[in-house]
Amino acid sequence: MVEAPLTAEQVLVAAEDVLRRYGPAKATVVDVARELGVSHGSVYRHFPSKTALRDAVAARWLERLSGPLEKMVSARTPAPQRIRRWVRGLSLAKRTMALEDPQLFATYHAIASGSREVVRAHEATLADQLGRIVADGLARGELATSLTARQAGQAVFHATAWFSHPAHAAEWGDPGLEAALDRVCTVLLEGLRAKPGDS
């Protein structure tokens, strides 16, 4: 019987398992190949270097965070509600991983930190999601701003970064975090509801 060829997805699943077991500093392509029961050359056919493999693992992890948020972008609920739900959703996803499995979270954070292009693309995706919600809110007369929808989306993303950026993970156990996030969202949404030119 001829075995099915190795897929990139299989390599990524194995790489995640290896990274979880050994950590990003010690995990190697040879370890991933051993996990799959293949030669390291088989892994390199899908990912030409260890850096490319780590970037792909980082992108896969970040997609798990941004993917579910896309549903909030296309929902038909009022834009202010969607923005608040989106910000809460991103914060909750990051905090859940950081608090329930801190070792795995630290591993993913270390990988993503070394994949700057992947992280930049991820952040652009997140800001774009918010920008599209703002654009819809502007079109429906629910929001008003002197900024473009894209600029406003980026502003909301940057203003709420404390609640989702891994650099602040050590502070996410604060029992007042949810209330603080809600207050930040309220201030931002009040600003977006203001008429352009108000100061």
Q: Are 109 and 139 in contact (CB under 8 A)?
A: no
Shared domain for 37 and 66, answered yes or no, is no
Is 2 part of a structural domain of the chain? Answer: no
Shared domain for 40 and 63, answered yes or no, is no
Question: Can you give the CATH number for the domain in which 13 is found?
Answer: 1.10.10
What's the pTM value of the predicted model, to 2 decimals? 0.84
Shared domain for 178 and 112, answered yes or no, is yes
Is 3 part of a structural domain of the chain? Answer: no
d(CA 55, CA 118): 7
The per-residue pLDDT for range 100-120, each reduced to its tens digit, is 878 778 877 888 788 888 889
pLDDT at residue 167, rounded to an integer? 86
Is 51 part of a structural domain of the chain? Answer: no
Is 15 part of a structural domain of the chain? Answer: yes
Is 66 part of a structural domain of the chain? Answer: yes
Question: Can you give the CATH number for the domain in which 82 is found?
Answer: 1.10.357.10
pLDDT at residue 1, rounded to an integer? 31
Residues of the chain under the 50 pLDDT cut: 1-3, 198-199
Shared domain for 32 and 66, answered yes or no, is no
Shared domain for 93 and 169, answered yes or no, is yes
Shared domain for 19 and 112, answered yes or no, is no
Show the domain range for 29: 8-46
Shared domain for 165 and 71, answered yes or no, is yes
Shared domain for 22 and 87, answered yes or no, is no
Is 72 part of a structural domain of the chain? Answer: yes
Shared domain for 41 and 98, answered yes or no, is no
Is 34 part of a structural domain of the chain? Answer: yes
d(CA 180, CA 158): 15
Q: For the chain, what is the radius of gyration of the CA atoms?
A: 20
pLDDT at residue 197, rounded to an integer? 52
d(CA 183, CA 81): 14
Is 1 part of a structural domain of the chain? Answer: no
Shared domain for 171 and 91, answered yes or no, is yes
How many structural domains comprise the chain? 2
Q: Is the dihedral of CA 94, 96, 99, 101 positive or negative?
A: negative
**Helices within 37-148 (DSSP H only):** 40-46, 50-74, 79-100, 102-113, 116-139
Shared domain for 73 and 28, answered yes or no, is no
Shared domain for 117 and 24, answered yes or no, is no
